[in-house]
Every structure is written in C-alpha cells, then in structure tokens.
Amino acid sequence: MAGKNKFFFFFIPQNYTLFCHTQEQIGLIGQIAPEAAIFQPEIAHRTITPVTLLKTRFQNYNMKNSIDATYLGGPTVILEIGGLRIMTDPTLDPAGTTFMINDKPGYRKLEGPALTDIGKIDLVLLSHDQHGDNLDNAGRQLLKTVPLTLTTRIGAERLKDNVKGLAPWESTTVHTPSGEEIVITSTPARHGPAGVERLTGDVTGFIVSYGDRQLYITGDTVFYEGLAEVAKRFKPEYIFIFAGAAQPRGPFSVTMDTNDAIDTAFAFPESTLIPVHFEGWSHFTQSAESLQRSFTALGIIDRLMILPPGKSTNLPPTAS
C-alpha cells in the first residue's frame, strides 16, 4: 500500500495518466484499465490530487459495462447490454385481448405495453411460447423480425425460423456490436406446483453473463429445487422474478407469489430482485404492493427494485 507521501503513477495507452495514493483507488484503476503500467516514483515534494484522470476514460468504461432495463409491462423488459438490445417474453398486444385455455376464455390482457415504439430488437429471450401472457399476437409478429430468439427445445420446434432451443444448463454465446461476448445459459423452471408440467408445458429461465456481471431471468416458475441449484452455480447481481401469483387454472399459483419471492431472495442473498409479470393481466392475484409489504415485514425491502414502466433504468454494478 502507498504511504502518505507516496503516489502511484499509472500510464495507460492512448496517453491517459492517472495519479493514485490509496489501495482503493488502485483497485478502481485496475477495473477501469487493466492494461495500465504502474510506476512508483518518489514525488513527496509535489502536490497532486488523489485521483486525476480524463473523464472520457470513465465514460467509455461505464458505457462498456452498462446495463439498462426498460419495463414494458407483464413479463416484457428491454435490456440494453453493451449496445445489444434484448427483449424478454414479448407481450405487445393492446388491452382487451383474450386468450383461451382448453378452448374456453382463460385470461384477458388489461393493459397495453408502456411503450409502442420499441426500436430494433437484436435478441429475444423467450421463457416459453405456449401461453399468451408470455408471447402474444404482436409478440409473435416481432419474432419474425428478430435475428435470434432463444427458448425451450420444444418451443423452438414449434416456432422454427430464427429460433434456437436450449436445454437446461445449455449455453450459447452472442456478441455485442463491438464484439464483446454475452453468454446466455438456460436454467430450469417449473411453471407451478409439483406435477403441473403436463398442464403448463416446458419453461426455461436464463442467466445472462456479460464480463464479470450476471443477470438472472427466472421465466414463469415458482421457487423449487431447480432454482436452488441455480443459486449454487451462479451469483447474479439482479434477478428478474416472474411474479404475480398467476392463477389461470384454479386456486394454485403458476408463477411466484410473495413466499416464492422471499425464498428466492434468501437463496440469492447478494442479489437485487426486480419483479415483472405482476400487472396488466386478469389472472394475476398479487401486485407490486404485495411484494413491497412482505419484503418490508421481513426487513429486506432494500433487496427489491420496482422498475417504472416505459422508462430506462440503469442497473449499476453491485457492491458484491
């Protein structure tokens, strides 16, 4: 560690020079510019601020590692990662659309998307294709314009075209416009209580790995041993939980209720939970307020992040 009268000089390619005199600052520079060369001259007679650097370098670093999320409603979020635009479960129909279960009206869309001008989408992460509250009519049309959609194996067989199916724990790599790798890993999901698979079909979640950052998109699932296994293998900063305690088939939930959300929070003790899939459809039985009240009661409200609809929110790196 540098003493009180000793400074570290870092020379970085492109003629940026940084001056530090604490271990914390040195660690920060190591993240921003791992290619930096270090020198340790005796300069005690000079007065230099602890850190002097060119703002552009920080801006480039922040842009490179930036992750932004825009919540459109239901299960639909646009993630912007390194310039790549990723959408989860496209539900873009206007309010009023009704979807069938066993040839009978099952559930109805109560709200349209928070944004209709969504721009170009480079990749879709689709938890499953067989339910209209995860892929509606307009969402299906969107898939035809997207270069790649990742989903379940059986879903890819049904959708065809530019759709790739992943089995649980299988990974694939995509690239940002600047060539950086984003690794997508399929994760197990169970769309309700034990034995529900014959009714609901296959579902997947996704781990999105970008450099040293990870996001987890649960897909339509409750908390069960499959999610506990995800917690053993990955350490996501943010988890998009598909909540709402949806009950389209009877008095049992096929997506996370408050208990499932709390179990997820304690299984991933370093993660911030971002609920989606809790509003805008007739079969949801719990709201954001339900989650806020339960998390407050347990003293973990700081672990919950509610995204404002239609607005881009930056997801900064967490302390962990």
Q: Mean of the pLDDT values across residues 152-168?
A: 97
pLDDT score for 104: 77
Q: Which residue has the tokens 């009661």?
A: 297
Cβ atoms < 10 Å from Cβ of 74: 31
Query: What was the pLDDT predicted at 56?
Result: 38
pLDDT at 279 over 80: yes
What percentage of residues in the chain have a pLDDT greater than 90? 72
On the question of pLDDT at 52 being above 90, the answer is no
Contacts with 143 (C-beta within 8 Å, 6 or more apart), sequence order: 90, 124, 126, 135, 149, 159, 161, 162, 163
Tell me what the mean pLDDT of segment 175-180 comes to: 94
Asked whether the predicted pLDDT for residue 1 surpasses 70, the reply is: no
As given in the structure block, the two tokens for residue 13 are: 């390619």
Please name the helix (run of DSSP H) or strand (run of DSSP E) that holds residue 225, with its range, or none. helix 225-233
**Average pLDDT value over all residues in the chain:** 85
Is there a contact between 114 and 310 (Cβ–Cβ < 8 Å)?
Answer: yes
**Does 66-314 carry CATH code 3.20.20.70?**
no
Q: Tell me what the mean pLDDT of segment 160-165 comes to.
A: 96
Q: Is the full-model pTM beyond 0.75?
A: yes
Residue with tokens 């065809």: 160
H helices of 18-92, in order, are: 23-32, 55-64
Of 94-103, 275-284, 289-298, give the range with the top mean pLDDT. Answer: 289-298
pLDDT-derived band at 61 (thresholds 50, 70, 90) equals very low
Among 74, 2, 81, 53, smallest CA distance to 220 is for 74
Residue 95 has a CB neighbour count (10 Å cut-off) of: 11
Question: What average pLDDT score do residues 116-132 get?
Answer: 96
Closest by CA position to 5, among listed 33, 38, 40, 31: 40
d(CA 20, CA 7): 6
What value, to the nearest 5°, has the Cα angle with vertex 272 and ends 215 and 210?
A: 20
Using 50, 70 and 90 to split pLDDT, how confident is the model at 63?
A: low
Name which of 102, 109, 170 is nearest 135 in CA terms.
Answer: 109
For residue 102, what pLDDT is reported?
A: 80
Q: Which one, of 125, 238, 137, lies nearest residue 189 by Cα?
A: 125
Residue 158: which pLDDT band, with cuts at 50, 70 and 90? very high
Structure tokens at 15: 């003629």
Residue 218 has a pLDDT of: 98
Q: Which pLDDT does position 73 carry in this prediction?
A: 96
The pLDDT assigned to 250 comes to 87
Structure tokens at 178: 């600047």
Q: What is the pLDDT of residue 183?
A: 98
Q: Using the 8-state DSSP alphabet, how is residue 267 labeled?
A: H
306 within 8 A of 240, measured Cβ to Cβ: no
In the chain, residues under CATH classification 3.60.15.10 are: 66-314
Amino acid occupying residue 234 = F
Q: Strand, helix or coil at 260?
A: helix
Round to whole Å and give the CA distance between 183 and 123: 12
Q: Which two tokens stand for residue 65?
A: 């590692």
Q: What is the pLDDT averaged over residues 211-216? A: 96
Mean pLDDT of the 236-244 span: 98
Distance from the Cα of residue 4 to its chain's centroid: 42
101: confidence class by pLDDT, cuts 50, 70, 90: confident
Alpha-carbon gap, residue 148 to 141, rounded angstroms? 13
Give how far the C-alpha of residue 36 lies from the chain's centroid of Cα atoms, to the nearest Å.
31
Return the minimum-mean-pLDDT range out of 119-123, 199-203, 206-210.
Answer: 199-203
